[in-house]
């Protein structure tokens, strides 16, 4: 499959929409997704250490120039099976490399391999290099050269589970290399990690309000320099001399020149409003390096660097009433034993408490056990990674109420620490247990129930390889929410409380739910999404909630799906239909498959994975048809054998003449879409709908009919000529057993 085949043929334009993949250090995916959205990207989907997205070439260029978080930006050009070196070679040789590189040009190949029969990345790179060279040699007798430093074209091969994705590396080299840093002081931070620390610490809003930044141990100056680039609206890639797309034949120079001109104008304006930024370090050579790095970044005289011990920083006056104090102390694992560093952490905490009251604080540490030595209670703890080393980012409000009192027992980090004001629970944190939290009796019962479910349903899901499941479904009527787990994300749906329930009490209970879940589930609060599911009356329909267009990849068995937690009431994957989808997969080998009211095409993906010879997905919504197509593409199912039709399903049924071996019919309970002339009521209309659908069945075909009308009654007497088997109980998964009326499901065949 050529991933971007159509858009790459011929002349590239700003209107051509392509698919891209940007990489980032683990833990920074939400920040990168937010950036890409601001750059104009669409259909954004987070995965581990990366984000896929769609956009024009200008969007990709903007990501290369402006992303503070990304490491690479890849443009996929082909995807294919690669279970042997020979298969990899011939598929890469088939790619029209002459569209991307001249025969006199230079290139390099990098590879990464996992869970595949090809086990060595270097060998994969050699086979790919040979394939590219041989194609050019056969065409013209002249071959391009390999340049491992700054080639015209950078090719990346990613092989996972014997599937290869071939991409152009538009960055060329990691985007964290801004072009300003000399050989750093000991244990430096990469620039994109430093930027992430600042963004998570709310530095942009602090700077916008005129607050200062003080780094107590600046090392080679990375944090202050990145802070200045952010506050002055300077593109982090503006100083870079090289990008991987500059020698690519598809490069649109006019687009790039326009972006550079825009960035230079924004830099000029931003430098005029730069707030105070100061960096201190005890090492004179580190200060010299910091000054040199700042000059290379075009920030000469804009940042104050000074050699000073942490203990003497308090002697400086006039820091201001607000700002961000930040520090990345030495890690015990690298630069000194943990015991030797306790005194340093204590002094850092003392200086923060003495000199920066009213400020925000952030400490990034690779030795979390030392965090308590600061004698400050963090309001939040994040897990980030400095290379392979797991680190903690501690966020503080530097206010006396969060200071440990003399003699008070210190708590280990990342143990969550809470305080009460006016009887209310405040300042929840992401990690650890619930010790130290003052809970209402109801909240404590709720927490215990969720824990119990984790040991039961959660353990069952893990044992069976299920990453998306319902954990809690209004098990306690007072806490009327549904909690769904989607891999490393969570969604909470609040069922609208009846009028007999006091609104203030309902709000308080929901607040308790959202405060407790990050600790119980070990899911950060920014990965938990809340929706309110209201009862719809008359002809009302669920509205669209938002328009963020942010998607996340989750796995179900051997299939991958895009889900969305913000824009719609439902995520795009009905969890209660999981057994039904697996049943369809088991029944699909060698069959033609039709998915009516196809929604996001999850059943279609399972059918294709099961070996269906063709699939047809029909839905009235363009959004869902596009979503279904992306789900299929994500699973490498493309081509003329997979058809997507945007149409009123009932009108389409009335005119369609083809027949199918397997049909999945999952209509809504009720619909009055603006695109329909009449309403659809599944109880009223199911007989006619089933008769119309059955006409499209082959003689030995099977129709799976499902709906979510809890009061539904099948009119068997009116379905003469059809065999109808109620398979509802077989299709209710364990995580929905507490609610067996969540759906009903029927297996229908033609009587012989």
**Domain match, 628 and 510 both:** no
Q: Which domain holds residue 523?
A: 441-533
- Rounded to an integer, the average pLDDT of 367-376 is 87
**Domain match, 195 and 223 both:** yes
Q: Is residue 176 part of a domain?
A: no
- Residue 324: pLDDT over 80: yes
Query: What's the pTM?
Result: 0.66
Which of 504, 533, 562 terminates a domain? The answer is 533
Q: Are 103 and 136 in contact (CB under 8 A)?
A: yes
Minimum mean pLDDT among 27-31, 224-228, 696-700: which range? Answer: 27-31
**Domain match, 410 and 445 both:** no
- Rounded to an integer, the average pLDDT of 399-411 is 78
**Domain match, 727 and 625 both:** yes
> For residue 415, what are the contacts with CB-CB under 8 A and spacing of at least 6?
431, 432, 433, 435, 436
Task: Kindly give the pairing relationship between strand 304-307 and strand 489-495.
Answer: unpaired
Q: What is the pLDDT of residue 740?
A: 86
Q: What is the pLDDT of residue 27?
A: 87
Q: What is the pLDDT of residue 281?
A: 95
- Rounded to an integer, the average pLDDT of 122-133 is 95
- Residue 533: pLDDT over 70: no
Residue 402's pLDDT band (cuts 50, 70, 90): confident
Of the candidates 469, 667, 668, 664, which has an alpha carbon nearest to the alpha carbon of residue 575?
A: 469
Which of 391, 425, 459 terminates a domain? The answer is 425
Q: What is the pLDDT of residue 509?
A: 86
Q: What is the pLDDT of residue 674?
A: 41
**Domain match, 312 and 456 both:** no
Residue 604's pLDDT band (cuts 50, 70, 90): very high
Q: Is residue 481 part of a domain?
A: yes
Task: Kindly give the pairing relationship between strand 680-681 and strand 660-665.
Answer: unpaired
Q: What is the pLDDT of residue 184?
A: 44
Tokens 């000991």 appear where?
A: 186
3-class secondary structure, 293:
helix
Q: What is the pLDDT of residue 15?
A: 64
Q: Is residue 348 part of a domain?
A: yes
- Residue 8: pLDDT over 60: no
Q: ∠ at Cα 129 (126, 134), nearest 5°?
A: 125
Instruction: Give the C-alpha separation, 35 to 44, whole Å.
Output: 11
- Rounded to an integer, the average pLDDT of 396-402 is 90
* 205 φ/ψ angles, rounded to the nearest 5 degrees: -75, -35
Q: What is the pLDDT of residue 584?
A: 97
Q: Where are the alpha helices (DSSP H) in 454-601?
A: 459-463, 503-521, 578-587
- Provide the percentage of residues in the chain whose pLDDT is more than 90: 65
Q: Is residue 174 part of a domain?
A: no
Mean pLDDT of the chain: 87
- Residue 744: pLDDT over 60: yes
Task: Kindly give the pairing relationship between strand 277-281 and strand 304-307.
Answer: parallel
- Rounded to an integer, the average pLDDT of 385-408 is 86
> For residue 118, what are the contacts with CB-CB under 8 A and spacing of at least 6?
82, 83, 84, 85, 88, 124, 159, 162
Q: What is the pLDDT of residue 715?
A: 92
**Domain match, 417 and 464 both:** no
**pLDDT tens by residue, 691-731:** 999 999 999 999 999 999 988 999 998 998 899 999 999 99
Q: What is the pLDDT of residue 678?
A: 65
Instruction: Give the C-alpha separation, 3 to 9, whole Å.
Output: 12
> For position 34, which CATH number holds?
3.30.2130.30
Which of 379, 398, 425 terminates a domain? The answer is 425
**pLDDT tens by residue, 149-191:** 999 999 999 999 899 999 999 999 999 999 998 654 444 789 9
Of the candidates 534, 531, 528, which has an alpha carbon nearest to the alpha carbon of residue 514?
A: 528
Of the candidates 535, 549, 470, which has an alpha carbon nearest to the alpha carbon of residue 44?
A: 549
Query: What is the token pair recorded at 382?
Result: 């994040």
Q: What is the pLDDT of residue 232?
A: 97
Q: Is residue 184 part of a domain?
A: no
CA dihedral over 424, 429, 435, 440, signed as positive or negative: positive
A 10 A CB-CB count for 48 gives 10
- Rounded to an integer, the average pLDDT of 644-667 is 94
DSSP E strand stretches across 42-184: 42-47, 50-55, 72-81, 106-114, 145-146, 153-160, 163-169
Of the candidates 52, 24, 58, which has an alpha carbon nearest to the alpha carbon of residue 39?
A: 58
Q: What is the pLDDT of residue 288?
A: 94
**Domain match, 561 and 446 both:** no
Q: Is residue 543 part of a domain?
A: no
- Residue 350: pLDDT over 70: yes
Q: Is residue 108 part of a domain?
A: yes
> For residue 407, what are the contacts with CB-CB under 8 A and spacing of at least 6?
none
Tokens 């002809």 appear where?
A: 539
The DSSP code for 496 is: P
- Rounded to an integer, the average pLDDT of 232-241 is 96
- 14 or 226, which is more confident? 226
**Domain match, 69 and 208 both:** no
Domain count, the chain: 4
Query: What is the token pair recorded at 399?
Result: 């206010």
> For residue 674, what are the contacts with CB-CB under 8 A and spacing of at least 6?
none
**Domain match, 734 and 633 both:** yes
Q: Is residue 243 part of a domain?
A: no
Residue 12's pLDDT band (cuts 50, 70, 90): very low
- Rounded to an integer, the average pLDDT of 23-47 is 91
- Residue 2: pLDDT over 60: no
Residue 202's pLDDT band (cuts 50, 70, 90): very high
Query: What is the token pair recorded at 95?
Result: 């790619």
In what helix (H) or strand (E) does residue 672 lie, and over which residues does it extend? none
Q: How far is CA 327 from CA 194, 375, 418, 596, in A?
A: 11, 15, 23, 57
A 10 A CB-CB count for 98 gives 14
> For position 496, which CATH number holds?
3.30.750.80
- Residue 430: pLDDT over 60: no
Of the candidates 331, 333, 371, 332, which has an alpha carbon nearest to the alpha carbon of residue 352?
A: 371
Q: How far is CA 574 from CA 443, 486, 599, in A?
A: 28, 11, 10
- 442 burial (CB, 10 Å; 0-12 / 13-18 / 19+) is middle
- Provide the percentage of residues in the chain whose pLDDT is more than 70: 88
> For position 386, which CATH number holds?
3.40.50.150
**pLDDT tens by residue, 327-342:** 999 875 544 466 678 8
**Domain match, 394 and 473 both:** no
**Domain match, 586 and 480 both:** no
Q: How far is CA 511 from CA 255, 307, 528, 615, in A?
A: 48, 47, 13, 45
**Domain match, 612 and 647 both:** yes
């Amino acid at each position: 499959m050529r991933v971007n085949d159509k858009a790459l043929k011929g002349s590239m334009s700003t209107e051509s929409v392509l698919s891209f993949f940007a990489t980032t250090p683990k833990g920074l995916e939400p920040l990168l997704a937010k950036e890409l959205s601001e750059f104009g990207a669409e259909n954004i989907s987070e995965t581990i250490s990366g984000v896929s997205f769609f956009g024009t070439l200008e969007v990709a260029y903007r990501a290369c120039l402006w992303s503070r978080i990304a490491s690479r930006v890849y443009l996929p050009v082909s995807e294919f099976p690669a279970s042997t070196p020979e298969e990899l070679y011939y598929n890469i040789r088939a790619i029209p490399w002459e569209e991307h590189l001249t025969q006199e040009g230079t290139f390099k190949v990098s590879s990464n391999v996992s869970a595949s029969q090809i086990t060595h990345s270097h060998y994969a790179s050699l086979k790919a290099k040979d394939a590219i060279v041989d194609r050019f040699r056969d065409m013209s007798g002249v071959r391009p050269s390999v340049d491992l430093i700054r080639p015209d074209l950078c090719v990346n091969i990613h092989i996972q589970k014997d599937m290869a994705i071939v991409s152009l590396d538009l960055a060329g080299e990691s985007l964290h290399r801004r072009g300003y840093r000399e050989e750093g002081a000991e244990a430096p931070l990469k620039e994109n990690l430093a930027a992430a620390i600042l963004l998570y610490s709310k530095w942009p809003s602090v700077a916008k309000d005129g607050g200062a930044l003080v780094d107590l141990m600046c090392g080679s100056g990375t944090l202050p320099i990145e802070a200045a680039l952010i506050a002055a609206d300077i593109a982090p890639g503006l100083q870079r001399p090289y990008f991987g797309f500059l020698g690519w034949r598809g490069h649109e120079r006019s687009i790039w020149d326009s972006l550079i001109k825009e960035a230079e104008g924004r830099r000029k304006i931003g430098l005029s409003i730069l707030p105070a930024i100061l960096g201190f370090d005890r090492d004179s050579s580190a200060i010299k390096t910091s000054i040199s790095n700042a000059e290379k970044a075009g920030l000469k005289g804009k940042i104050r660097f000074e050699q000073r011990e942490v203990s003497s920083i308090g002697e400086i006056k006039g820091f201001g009433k607000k700002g961000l104090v930040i520090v990345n102390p030495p890690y015990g694992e690298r630069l000194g034993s943990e015991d030797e560093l306790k005194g340093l952490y204590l002094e850092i905490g003392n200086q923060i408490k003495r000199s920066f009251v009213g400020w925000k604080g952030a400490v990034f540490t690779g030795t979390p056990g030392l965090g308590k030595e600061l004698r400050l209670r963090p309001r939040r703890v994040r897990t980030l990674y400095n290379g392979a080393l797991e680190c903690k980012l501690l966020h503080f409000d530097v206010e006396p109420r969060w200071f440990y009192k003399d003699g008070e027992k210190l708590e280990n980090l990342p143990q969550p620490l809470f305080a009460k004001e006016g009887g209310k629970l405040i300042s929840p944190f992401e990690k650890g247990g619930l010790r130290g939290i003052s809970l209402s009796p109801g909240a404590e019962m709720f927490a215990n129930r969720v824990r119990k479910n984790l040991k039961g349903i959660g353990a069952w899901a893990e044992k069976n390889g299920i990453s998306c499941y319902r954990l809690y479904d209004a098990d306690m009527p007072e806490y009327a929410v549904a909690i769904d787990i989607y891999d490393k994300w969570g969604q909470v749906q609040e069922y609208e409380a009846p009028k007999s329930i006091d609104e203030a009490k309902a709000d308080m209970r929901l607040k308790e739910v959202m405060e407790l879940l990050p600790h119980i589930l070990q899911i950060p609060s920014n990965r938990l999404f809340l929706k309110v599911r209201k009862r719809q009356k008359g002809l009302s329909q669920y509205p669209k909630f938002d328009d963020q267009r942010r998607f996340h990849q989750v796995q179900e068995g051997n299939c991958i799906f895009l889900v969305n937690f913000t824009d719609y009431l439902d995520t795009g994957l009905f969890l209660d239909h999981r057994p039904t989808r697996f049943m369809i997969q088991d029944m699909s080998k060698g069959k033609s498959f039709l998915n009516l009211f196809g929604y996001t095409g999850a059943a279609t993906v399972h059918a294709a994975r099961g070996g269906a010879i063709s699939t047809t997905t029909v839905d009235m919504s363009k959004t869902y048809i596009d979503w279904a197509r992306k789900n299929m593409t994500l699973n490498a199912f493309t081509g003329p054998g997979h058809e997507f039709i945007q149409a009123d399903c009932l009108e389409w049924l009335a005119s369609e003449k083809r027949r199918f071996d397997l049909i999945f019919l999952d209509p809504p309970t009720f619909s009055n879409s603006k695109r329909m002339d009449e309403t659809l009521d599944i109880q009223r209309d199911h007989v006619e709908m089933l008769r119309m659908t059955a006409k499209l069945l082959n003689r030995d075909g099977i129709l799976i009919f499902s709906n979510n009308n809890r009061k539904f009654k099948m009119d068997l007497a009116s379905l003469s000529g059809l065999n109808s088997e109620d398979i509802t109980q077989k299709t209710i998964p364990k995580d929905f057993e507490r609610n067996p009326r969540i759906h009903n499901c029927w297996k229908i065949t033609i009587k012989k």
